[in-house]
Amino acid sequence: VGFDNAHGFHHRHFMGEVEPVGFVSFEDIEARFQADWIKYRSKK
């Protein structure tokens, strides 16, 4: 689970997949990260 802008574009890492994401604000990314973390934890 992670978000970054390495490689020249904002993207998300989740369950082995990488997908581009639009950057709105740090707070938005933080909320998305928290939601992904909850989804990840529920799959274990």
Q: What is the pLDDT of residues 1-44, one digit of tens each?
A: 999 999 899 999 988 999 999 999 999 999 999 999 998 898 76
For residue 38, give its domain range.
2-43
In this structure, what token pair is assigned to residue 10?
Answer: 């904002």
Residue 7 confidence (pLDDT): 86
Angle at 32 between CA 22 and CA 29, to 5 degrees: 55
Q: What's the total number of domains in the chain?
A: 1
Q: What's the rounded Cα separation, in Å, for the pair 8 and 39?
A: 27
Residue 9 confidence (pLDDT): 95
Q: What's the rounded Cα separation, in Å, for the pair 9 and 19?
A: 10
The structure's pTM equals 0.74
One-letter amino acid of 12: R
Residue 44 confidence (pLDDT): 65
Longest CA pairwise span in the chain (Å)? 32
